[in-house]
Structure 1
C-alpha cells in the first residue's frame, strides 16, 4: 500500500506544534515534528526534528503574533524538504454544543467553532486562525477537526448537566471535558487489555483527570472550559463562585466597562492563578520543586494544593466507578515528576493504591505500583498525534465519494 503523508497541527495559547506522519495500512511512521513556542513573548523558539529525533531546525526568532509564527511553519512545509500532506488533522479543543463528532472541516464549520471560542479562549482563536490558513495554503487537501471533547461524549446527562437556570443550559452551558485525545490515546495503548475501572491523570501545565469504565468516559474533572477541575499551571480549577463574584466586583470598582472587567477576570483565573498564582513564582513544576528544595514556603503550599486536589479527585472517581483496577499518570508532570507521583499516591492505601519507591524512580513508561498493590499504577506517555492521524484516516475512508483522496492515493 502506498504511503499517505498526514500533517498534524496542534495549537496552544502560545505555541503551534506540528508533525508529518506516513500512514500506510496500519503503520504510522513519524517523518518530522516541530514546534513554534513562545508566541507573543520574548522567548520565541522554532525547532524541527526528523523521525529519529535529530534536530534539523533550532532557531530563536522574534514571534510577535500567531501570523509570524505560522508563517515559519508554512515556509518549512513548503520548502520541498518534506512530503506535501495529502490530509491535515487539527487538534480542536472544543467545537461547541452542536459539534460532538470529529469531521471534515469546511468554512461553515470553522465559523461555528469560532462562535463558541469562549469555551476555550486560550486555544480556539489560534486554532481557528490556523484552520483558515491551512485551507488556503494547501488548496484541495482535506482538513479534519479532531475534538478533545469527542472522548467525553459518552458521559451521561446527569454528569454533563450543570445546576443552573435552564435558559443558560439551552445556550450550551454544560460540562464538556478536555484532553480527550490524550485519554483516547491511553486506551489505544492499553488495548486489548483495557481494565474495567480506570482513572487516567493527564498532568501538565494543563491538568485534568478522567474516570473510565470499559474504555468509555464516565466522568472528567474539567467542565464548561479547561479552567475547571484540577488546579493547573495558571488556572484556578474548581473554585467557589463567590470568589469570582468578589474578584469581579473589585475589578468593577476601578471603573472599567463590563466587557473589560470580564476580560480581566478571565486573565486572572486562566493565566495568573493555579500554581503560578499560589507560588508567586512559576507555573513550571520543575521550578517549584527547586524552590521547595531551597525552603520556599509558597512553592510548597502550591504543590501541596495540587497534590491534595488530585487525591480528592481520585477518591471521588473511585467512588463513582465502584472501585479501581488501574491508575495511569500521563502528561509532562505525570511522566516525569517522580516526587509528585509519590506524593499523590501516599495515603491512598485504603483505596488499594501502593507505589513502589524504586519502580517509581523513573521517567517515561513504567509500572510503578508495589507488588502487593491491589491497583496497578502505570506511567504511559500520551500519543495524541497518533490518534489524530488515526481519526483522519478513518474519516477519509468514510468519505462518501469513491474519488476521495485516500482511495485515489491507494488505488
Structure 2
C-alpha cells in the first residue's frame, strides 16, 4: 500500500483521501514576564485524520476541545506548532503565500458568526464577488453574473446584491457566507459551527442547503459542531475530540447506535428526545474540564470518567480499533454495552417499558414515514418491536 493510503486508512479514512492531517499540534503561549515563565496552552495536541472525497466529516466536542483550532489550521488561518496538512498530496504547511492563495481556491470556509464574518462596509455583491476578483476570474460583467447566480443558488434574490449585511437576518447572512465560500468553485468546504448562532428553524434550512449544495457541486464537507443533534443527519463520519485529542472516530450510524468511548456516551445522552413524556437517560460527568495548560497525565478523560482505572491515570491510550471504528480507551471492549439515547421513564417505574416502547414506536413511524395514527407493528410487553 502507498504510504499516503496507509496513513489515511490508519486515521479512519480510505484510499481516496482528499485531505490528510498528521500529528497536528497548536500550542499558545500566555502570560510570562521578567521572572515568570509563560504558560503553554495545548489547544490541539497531536491530531491525525483523513477526509475522503465526497464525504461529510463532522468534528464534535464541547467548547474548548480544540475543534475550531483544527479547522483553522487546516486552512492555515493559524500556523500549526507541529504536524502537517496535505490537500491531495500537496503539503499546505510548506506553501508560500502565492502557492497558498492558489490552493485556497480549492478550499473555503464558512465561519460561525454570520454577523462578524461579513464586512459591513461592502455590499453583498462585493462580498460574494471578492474571491472571483482575488483569483482573477473573468471580466467585471462575468463576475457580476456569477455573483447573482450564486445568490439565487443559496436562496437569495438578485436584488439583494446591492444591499449591505445589516439589512439581512442571521440566516440570510449565513447564506451570503455560503455563497462567498462557493464563489471560487472549491472542492472542500469547512463549516466552523455554521448554524450554532441561528434559531432552530433556521438551522434546519441552512443544513438542508448545505446538503443540497454538496450534491450539486460534488463537495467534500468538514462540519465543526458542538451539537450532536445537528450533525446526525448530515454527516457520514464523526470525529469526537476532548481536550485537544481525538477520542473516537466512527461512521455516524455506528456512533449513535453504540458509542465506544465513555465521553461520547455522555455527549449523546445529552441530546433531548422530541417526544413528550419520554426522556433520555443522562450520563452526567463529575468535575470540571481540566485546563489545556495543565492536562492530566495518562488518559485526559480519566478525571471525569466513571470507568477509570489505575492504568488510565498513568498510560495514555492509543486511538485503536477496526472496521472504521477507532477509540482512545484502554477498556472500551469490556465496558458495559449501551445504546445511545435510550428512552427511560422514572427510575424503577413500571412505566419504563411502556415509555421505551412509545419511543421505539415513534422512531419506527419516522423511519417508514407512517402517520401518527396509522397502524404499524405492535410491541411486546418487554417493549421490543415485533417483526
Q: TM-score w.r.t. structure 1 length?
A: 0.28
Higher RCO (CA < 8 A, seq sep 6+): 2
Mark the structure with the bigger radius of gyration.
2
